[in-house]
Structure 1
Amino acid sequence: MDSGTSSISWRRAPAAEEDPPETPRDALTATPWLRAVPGPVLDGLAAHAVLHRLPAGSIVFEQAETPAFAQFLIGGSVELLAVRGRNEAFVELIRPFDLLLPAAVLNCQPYLLRARVLSDATLLLVQADTFREAVTTDHAFCLAVLSCQAAQFRRRVKQVKNLGLRSAEERVGCYLVRLAEDVPPGQPVRLPMEKRLIASELGMTRETFSRSLNGMARHGIRIEGDLVTLEHPTTARTRFALDPLIDGAEEFHPLQAKGT
């Protein structure tokens, strides 16, 4: 099949910026979970912020580095990596609109992971002191940041459950079924990132991931390169039943202060 055909779904691929923000204030306005934050607070953050565009492969920050900025991912994608010597282990792929490891910023502690740009990224860098001051002085902004951290925590718990409760084959199968869940039967969907990164995210070696992919045909899932097709959706979804408490998308749900 021609990999350029329009019938292929690009679901979950890192999003390109269709209308990138031109100013820090624009970037804050574009961040959905900040909509309840008063304009003057966003103005104050923007006054101590800068937009930073980085090409794929750029290091955003290193493990053990103490943050000077709170970093909002506005466009592109960033991979978080655990590092020991020359070895790296993929932890998570961050997409817009999210904060990069905000706990380190809030606690003035070193980053526990390295951040590297996967697809050309736009970041909003807000001075760490300004960010912390806004958290401590504005209730709406504090609630927004809290919702961001809550969503991040729930994503991590789901990942731990996925790793602990499912076999390698089940993790791969559920990943593929979830990837194609909104695609019409028989229509291919493209893997959203390199296979080595997916393997790391699913807690296995590239070789184990490849073996699992090779065995998907008997469960109704066809793999051709980086294209995935549910040829027999009922068979696939029966064998790899999705659990909303593991596989469900984790959206931001900002708390609203009483009286607002």
Structure 2
Amino acid sequence: MEVALLRTDDIQTVRSLPLFAEISESHFGALMRAAFLQRFPAQTLLIHEGDQADFLHVIVEGMVEMFSNSDGEETTIGFLEPVSTFILAAVLVEKVYLQSARTLGPSRILMIPAQAIRDVFARDPAFAGSVVRELAERYRDVVRQLKSQKMRSGLERLAAWMLERGIRRGETLEVHIPFEKAKLASFLGMTRESLSRSFAALADHDVMVRGRVITCNRSDALARLARTLGSSDSS
């Protein structure tokens, strides 16, 4: 890893995050003066489950995999892309990390000391409000993922992921898988074999898979298959 220069546009990008949008200029400046930007190569372990939270990480460039390991069995919890933060809750309450994180490609990560975040949280009501909203949104994301795991089949979860990830080009939905299919299977709670069977089953919905590129000419059929779970839940 190497310490990188924090450019003006990087600062502006971080400032535009909802978490920092309403913080006072003086407090934001204090956080940026305490922070440093680092470049990491692919497959770098950034945080380890069970360690004390010492930094709030902001992904400026690259992709990060959140994962957990127990008795030699590893599972993917999620993927984060710019511009996003992790792990705010552990930083705020001075607890250990409940998951690990590693880069999936060359990445630039802004690291803000946890104590600096807690100090500004105590002094800046606008920032404190943004933190509460951020944590509420993260909680709702967890509930959505739990509902998907409990209420959808593996095939339905794959279809939902494709709809969320895909880019529409006219009538065609195109999805690029930016990591190994094994990681996608783990994230969706499937085995590699069941993921392969699900891709084969999607051929009936006009889905074609070529390597890591998926195309679908019937996104409406894919949406019906995904059984969109109501976003108007009470969580």
TM-score band by shorter chain is: 0.7 to 0.9
Task: Mark the runs of 5 or more structure 2 residues left unpaired by the alignment.
Answer: none
Counterpart amino acid of residue 43 in structure 1: G
- Aligned partner (choices 147, 152, 156) of residue 170 of structure 1: 156
Kindly provide the CA deviation profile for residues 218-253 of structure 1, in whole angstroms up to 9, marking residues without a partner as x: 12222222221213334333333434529xxxxxxx
Structure 1 residues 185 and 82: alpha-carbon distance in aligned structure 2, compared to 1, 3 A threshold = same
Structure 1 residues 111 and 238: alpha-carbon distance in aligned structure 2, compared to 1, 3 A threshold = closer
Structure 1 residues 206 and 230: alpha-carbon distance in aligned structure 2, compared to 1, 3 A threshold = same
- Aligned partner (choices 163, 166, 169) of residue 180 of structure 1: 166
Whole-Å Cα distance in 1 between the matches of residues 219 and 92 of structure 2?
Answer: 45
Equivalenced residues, count: 227
Give the match for residue 157 of structure 1.
143
- TM-score, normalization: structure 2? 0.86
Whole-Å Cα distance in 1 between the matches of residues 12 and 127 of structure 2?
Answer: 17
Give the match for residue 233 of structure 1.
219
Q: Is the 8 A contact 1:79 1:115 kept in 2?
A: yes
* Higher RCO (C-alpha under 8 Å, 6+ residues apart): 1
1:216-231 alignment runs, 5 A limit: 216-231=202-217
What is the CA-CA distance between 1:21 and the residue it aligns to?
4.5
Q: Is the 8 A contact 1:25 1:43 kept in 2?
A: no
Give the match for residue 119 of structure 1.
105
Give the match for residue 36 of structure 1.
22
Q: Is the 8 A contact 1:180 1:230 kept in 2?
A: no
Give the match for residue 120 of structure 2.
134
Kindly provide the CA deviation profile for residues 91-125 of structure 1, in whole angstroms up to 9, marking residues without a partner as x: 01112222211111111111111110112222221
Task: Mark the runs of 5 or more structure 1 residues left unpaired by the alignment.
Answer: 1-19, 247-260
Paired-residue identity, %: 26
Give the secondary structure class of the aligned counterpart of 2:106.
Answer: strand
What is the CA-CA distance between 1:51 and the residue it aligns to?
1.1
Question: Larger deviation: 118-127 or 162-171?
Answer: 118-127
Whole-Å Cα distance in 2 between the matches of residues 117 and 195 of structure 1?
Answer: 16
Q: Is the 8 A contact 1:28 1:42 kept in 2?
A: no
Whole-Å Cα distance in 1 between the matches of residues 97 and 160 of structure 2?
Answer: 31
Give the match for residue 65 of structure 2.
79
The alignment status of 1:22 with 2:17, answered yes or no, reads no
Counterpart amino acid of residue 53 in structure 1: R
- TM-score, normalization: structure 1? 0.79
